[in-house]
């Protein structure tokens, strides 16, 4: 019995895990496959192989513009959320203040709120102050910073809490003033956490549909474009973008972890 | 045993570290209570005590990592009590070493020099790494070094700044026993070589006695006793010191008189003598103390004609209740007629057969090894194995 | 005294650091959420143009619940099933990464996240292809007679739950992995020494120790799944619509703000209650 049990945990668990990974990659396989689809009228089935989609990625009107819009918003939202969230994380870990419990709750709540509630309530706010007519780039940005912020706080806070305060004390002991201690010791040691938070923010922002859908005005991000196209039948170039995103992100993460292996943090 | 009267490093006389009525409170808890202390220039000074006794807080106040609630700290007459850590001529070897993981060994050691804008960083770092026998390790990262090597880097990183005082916070605590012994000798060598004042915080009495030439024993935020290891061991001032530094037998006794050099006491019917200089109390009830290895056992049952001569103390009527063979010595527990168990260490010199459980024995020792302590003090203060036992029983 | 001085100084810096981030959350999250709660009590006969009057119309809730009872229950049911499925899939994967992967651990972690670098919508549309009537999954199931001839996967509850399970799987895997990884392997060895049976030592040691991750993962999966409407929209039909579809429609198409707000508040309340009950039952107060 115990030998059987051991064999099962040795091999079966890994086998199941592999199957789950296959399940996770199944749609990716389809995205890559469909990016080469010689698409006729039926948008969701593979008709035949072609490179045409890759040769003309910006073919469908408005798609590449939407991608650029998403990149811009993603970049700015990442910048804003990472900056604000990092400051909050530092305050939470390193400083004493009143209302800590309320602050923690306020940071936790957006992560526990369904996006449809967040998006709709924000729209209601903008409407009630008479801004519903001018929604667009700025309102999407405001919303994205809002929902990315909590994730940044949690990520950076975890890294910061794991940082031994003796490091900073040692730096001060070795003639580094507060400013030098922060930039030479604290910041470099927390940086991987900030980087991770930034990557997370970017992917959350770039990929967001629900909140954006409520607050986008006439601005079309990539998910908005896909949503609109899905009603009519999506152009295969959408899958080209999906494939490129996948490859870029994978390269970034693998590259990052290789870099980290060379310089253990 | 280090020579206590050796001169401090010439030319630096007066660069002492002085703490005057230093108090540190955390809320209602007083970690350090009105502490006065002078550490002479060039000393290897140990602050010894159990965890929570205030020794680390004292160290951190000297380093500038805590601000005293009250009192002043001076080095060479200059008040540093309120200075930022980076403005003090003091460096610290941290307990966990606190090496910067994102910098290599060279940059770790060079850190202090670079902050102060010192020239010839490379040369100095190279020489310092040689001193701690880590030449050629400069390009490695802290994570790639063993515990002992990291410890040396931490030491080099602090020493390279030539501080007036080097603080060591349990620097050997994370090392295994063998490495710890090696590093004790190493630290002592380096201190002698550089001549800088070392203030070393530890809870390990053996470590303190091996390395330091002056020890301050701390308990509950105050210094119980300060002196050379020999003084503390042979003439403890309190039951705490007598138990925390080595082991002691403490027998309740009444002072009955004194002669030229000795105080005479009566312990459960036996007359004992103790040198007056080792008597912390000269009237009323006292603890008469003696170290286990100072005591000799003789076959008991009412004496055998070897009556105690002058200058010898004698307790009769014991029964061996436990024998542990340690190798170099044998450790006996002897139950006395009044119920107390006393500890005796006998060298295994081979001169005599050892006793067995149940044997009747008498205890004798030279009276100059006797010390008298205030009987108001807890006989088990500072006895960690006893504390562990009672704590275990309580929970 | 000086100690109190430094305390005040640090806390002033603390407030300065907190201020911008918290202000952002207050203005763009807390205020709208409170306003949403207020909106849910407005006079339903008002309109966006004429404005709404605050009439404390608690009947909005009754109306919302009675009109949209089906999508409500469907949301909770779909989310619950998807969460359980995600747990069943994620646990072996997280376990394998934590204990069996050896030097491939990091690679496997990357592989877990990697599929989610592509757009949520693009992935969900890929499921539309996978589950399509002539796709290999439907065909295989028909051959095996699990699915009747002419039976569909797309536009059914199965498709919606599959999509939900898939899309929120990493939120289950990662917290599970994090808490499994912290378990000291010696504990498991000690227990197999004491219990001998692998299954028992899993039940008595590994599972309880992974509880914090399990709770976190379940919540992180359930909450977004319950509020999602993309999967129902793209993989289902109006018969599979969830409460998210209803809120979206009320807000953006029918412009019936009070009803939409009432639905949102009910969804929030249902989630909060379930989370609290669940956290208490699971015996952990650790939310994040």
Tell me: the pLDDT tens digits for C270-284? 888 877 887 777 655
**Mean local confidence (pLDDT), B186-202:** 91
**Structural domain harbouring A130:** 61-234
Question: In the predicted model, is pLDDT for residue A261 greater than 70?
Answer: no
Same domain, A86 and A168: yes
User: Which among B12, B9, B10 is positioned nearest to B75, based on CA atoms?
Assistant: B12
User: What backbone torsions phi and psi does residue C109 show, to the nearest 5 degrees?
Assistant: -60, -45
The token pair at C165 is 């399970």
Tell how strand B44-48 and strand B214-219 pair up: parallel
In this structure, are A37 and A96 located in the same domain? no
Q: Say yes or no: B52 contacts chain A, CB-CB below 8 A.
A: no
pLDDT at A265: 41
SS (H, E, C) C80-127: HHHHHHHHHHHHHHHHHHHHHCHHHHHHHHHHHHHHHHCCHHHHHHHH
Residue-wise pLDDT tens digits, C206-257: 888 888 889 889 988 998 899 899 999 889 888 889 999 999 998 888 888 8
Q: Using CB atoms, which chains have 3+ pairs under 8 A with B?
A: A, C
Name residues whose C-beta falls within 8 Å of residue B221's C-beta, 6 or more positions apart in sequence. Answer: B30, B31, B32, B33, B35, B53, B54
Q: What is the mean pLDDT of chain B?
A: 88
Q: Give the model's pLDDT for residue A55.
A: 83
Q: Are residues A28 and A125 in the same domain?
A: no
Q: If pLDDT is split at 50, 70 and 90, which confidence band does A182 have? A: very high
A151 and A37 fall within a common domain: no
- Judged by CB atoms closer than 8 Å, whether chains meet at B100 and A265 is answered as no
Q: What does A158-220 look like in DSSP terms, one character per residue? A: HHHHTS-HHHHHHHHHTT--HHHHIIIIIHHHHHHHHHHHHHHHHHHHHH--HHHHHH-TT--
Count of CB atoms situated within 10 Å of the CB of B55: 29
Report the residue of chain B nearest A185, measured CA to CA: B100
Query: For the domain bounded by B17-234, which CATH number is listed?
Result: 3.40.50.300
| CA C33/CA A121 separation, integer angstroms | 6
Determine, for residues A88 and C32 on separate chains, whether the beta-carbon distance falls below 8 Å: no
Superfamily of domain B239-394 in the CATH hierarchy: Nucleic acid-binding proteins (2.40.50.140)
Question: Which of B115-119, B175-179, C109-113, C133-137 is modeled with the greatest confidence?
Answer: B115-119
Residues A146 and A32 in one domain: no
Number of domains forming the structure of chain A: 2
Q: pLDDT by residue (tens digit) across A20-37? A: 999 999 999 988 988 888
For residue C10, pLDDT over 70 is answered with no
On whether any CB of chain B is under 8 Å from the CB of C6, the answer is yes
Residues of chain C with CATH 1.10.3720.10: 40-282
Residue B198 has pLDDT above 80, yes or no: yes
Residue A255 has pLDDT above 50, yes or no: yes
Please report the number of interchain residue pairs, chain A to chain C, with beta-carbon separation below 8 angstroms. 278
What is the tens place of the pLDDT at every residue in A141-180? 999 999 999 999 999 998 898 888 899 999 999 999 999 9
Task: For residue A172, give the CATH number of its domain.
Answer: 1.10.3720.10
Indicate the class that CATH gives domain C40-282.
mainly alpha
Q: Are residues A100 and A193 in the same domain?
A: yes
Which percentage of chain C shows pLDDT scores above 70? Answer: 91
Scored b (16 or more CB within 10 A) or e, C52-63 reads: beeeebeebbeb
User: Shortest CB distance from A21 goes to which of C111, C257, C261?
Assistant: C111
Residue B376 CB-density burial (10 A; 0-12 exposed, 13-18 middle, 19+ buried) = exposed
**Distance in angstroms (rounded) separating the CA atoms of residues B175 and A109:** 45
pLDDT of residue A225: 92
Q: Are residues A75 and A146 in the same domain?
A: yes
For A91-115, the pLDDT digits (tens) are 998 888 888 888 988 998 898 888 9
For B325, list phi and psi in degrees, rounded to 5. Answer: -90, 120
Residue B350 has pLDDT above 80, yes or no: no
Tokens of B187: 């630290």
Chain A hits for C118, CB-CB cut-off 8 Å, are: 27-28, 31, 242-243, 245-246
């Amino acid at each position: 019995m115990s030998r059987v049990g051991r064999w099962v945990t040795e091999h079966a668990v890994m086998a199941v895990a592999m199957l789950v990974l296959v399940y996770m990659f199944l749609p990716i396989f389809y995205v890559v496959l469909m990016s080469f689809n010689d698409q006729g009228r039926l948008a969701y089935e593979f008709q035949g192989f072609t490179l045409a989609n890759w040769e003309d990625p910006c073919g469908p009107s408005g798609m590449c513009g939407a991608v650029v819009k998403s990149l811009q918003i993603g970049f700015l939202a990442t910048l804003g959320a990472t900056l604000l969230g990092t400051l909050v994380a530092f305050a939470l870990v390193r400083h004493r203040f009143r209302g800590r419990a309320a602050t923690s709750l306020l940071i936790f709540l957006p992560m526990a709120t369904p996006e449809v509630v967040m998006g709709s309530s924000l729209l209601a706010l903008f409407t009630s102050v008479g801004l519903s007519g001018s929604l667009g780039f700025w309102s999407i940005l405001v919303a994205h910073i809002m929902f990315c912020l909590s994730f940044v706080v949690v990520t950076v806070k975890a890294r910061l809490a794991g940082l031994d305060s003796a490091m900073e004390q040692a730096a001060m002991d070795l003639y580094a003033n507060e400013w030098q201690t922060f930039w030479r010791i604290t910041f470099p040691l927390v940086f991987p956490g900030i980087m991770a938070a930034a990557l997370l923010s970017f992917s959350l922002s770039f990929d967001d549909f629900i909140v954006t859908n409520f607050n986008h005005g006439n601005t079309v991000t990539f998910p908005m474009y896909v949503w609109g196209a899905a009603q009519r039948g999506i152009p295969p170039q959408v899958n080209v973008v999906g494939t490129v995103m996948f490859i870029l992100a994978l390269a970034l993460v693998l590259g990052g972890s290789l870099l980290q292996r060379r310089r253990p943090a | 045993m280090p020579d206590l009267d050796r001169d401090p490093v010439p030319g630096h006389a007066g660069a002492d570290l002085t703490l005057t009525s230093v108090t540190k409170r955390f809320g209602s808890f007083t970690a350090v209570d009105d502490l006065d202390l002078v550490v002479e220039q060039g000393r290897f000074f140990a602050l010894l005590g159990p965890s929570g006794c205030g020794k680390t807080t004292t160290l951190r106040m000297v380093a500038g990592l805590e601000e005293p609630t009250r009192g002043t700290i001076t080095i060479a007459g200059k008040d540093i009590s309120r200075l930022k850590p980076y403005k003090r001529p003091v460096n610290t070897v941290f307990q966990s070493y606190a090496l910067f993981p994102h910098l290599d060994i060279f940059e770790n050691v060079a850190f202090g020099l670079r902050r102060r804008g010192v020239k010839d960083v490379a040369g100095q770092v190279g020489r310092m790494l040689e001193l701690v026998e880590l030449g050629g390790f400069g390009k490695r990262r802290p994570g790639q070094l063993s515990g002992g090597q990291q410890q040396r880097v931490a030491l080099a990183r602090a020493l390279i700044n030539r501080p007036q005082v080097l603080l060591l916070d349990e620097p050997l605590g994370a090392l295994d026993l063998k490495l710890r012994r090696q590093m004790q000798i190493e630290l002592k060598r380096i201190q002698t070589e550089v001549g800088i004042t070392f203030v070393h915080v530890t809870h390990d009495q053996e470590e303190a006695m091996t390395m330091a030439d002056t020890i301050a024993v701390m308990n509950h935020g105050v210094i119980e006793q300060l002196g050379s290891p020999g003084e503390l061991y042979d003439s403890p001032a309190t039951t705490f010191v007598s138990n925390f530094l080595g082991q002691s037998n403490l027998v309740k006794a009444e002072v009955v008189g004194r002669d030229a050099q000795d105080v005479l006491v009566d312990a459960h019917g036996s007359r004992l003598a103790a040198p007056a200089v080792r008597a912390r109390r000269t009237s009323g009830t006292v603890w008469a103390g003696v170290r286990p290895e100072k005591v000799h056992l003789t076959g008991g049952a009412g004496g055998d004609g070897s009556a105690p001569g002058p200058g010898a103390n004698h307790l009769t009527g014991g029964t061996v209740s436990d024998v542990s063979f340690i190798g170099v010595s044998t450790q006996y527990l002897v139950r006395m007629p009044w119920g107390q168990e006393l500890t005796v260490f006998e060298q295994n010199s081979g001169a005599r057969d050892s006793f067995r459980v149940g044997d009747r024995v008498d205890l004798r020792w030279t009276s100059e090894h006797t010390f008298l302590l205030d009987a108001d003090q807890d006989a088990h203060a500072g006895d960690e194995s006893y504390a562990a036992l009672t704590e275990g029983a309580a929970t | 005294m000086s100690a109190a001085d430094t305390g005040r100084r640090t806390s002033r810096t603390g407030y300065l650091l907190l201020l911008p981030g918290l202000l952002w959350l207050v203005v763009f999250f807390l205020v709208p959420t409170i306003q949403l709660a207020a909106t849910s009590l407005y006079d339903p006969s008002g309109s966006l143009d004429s404005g709404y009057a605050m009439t404390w119309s608690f009947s909005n809730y009754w109306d919302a619940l009675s009109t949209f009872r089906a999508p409500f229950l469907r949301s909770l049911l779909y989310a619950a099933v998807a969460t359980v499925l995600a747990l069943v899939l994620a646990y072996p994967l997280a376990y394998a990464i934590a204990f069996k992967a050896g030097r491939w651990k990091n690679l496997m972690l990357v592989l877990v996240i990697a599929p989610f670098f592509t757009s949520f919508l693009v992935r969900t549309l890929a499921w539309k292809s996978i589950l399509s009537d002539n796709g290999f999954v439907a065909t295989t199931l028909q051959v095996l007679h699990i699915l009747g001839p002419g039976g569909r996967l797309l536009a059914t509850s199965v498709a919606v739950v599959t999509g939900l399970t898939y899309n929120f799987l990493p939120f289950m895997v990662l917290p599970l992995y994090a808490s499994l990884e912290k378990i000291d392997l010696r504990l498991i060895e000690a227990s197999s020494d004491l219990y001998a049976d692998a299954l028992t030592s899993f039940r008595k040691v590994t599972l309880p120790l992974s509880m914090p991750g399990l709770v976190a993962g379940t919540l992180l999966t359930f909450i977004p799944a319950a509020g999602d409407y993309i999967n129902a929209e793209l993989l289902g039909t109006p018969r599979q619509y969830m409460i998210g579809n209803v809120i979206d429609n009320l807000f953006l198409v029918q412009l019936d703000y009070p009803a939409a707000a009432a639905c949102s508040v009910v969804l929030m309340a249902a989630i909060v209650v379930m989370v609290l009950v669940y956290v208490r039952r699971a015996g952990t107060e650790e939310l994040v």
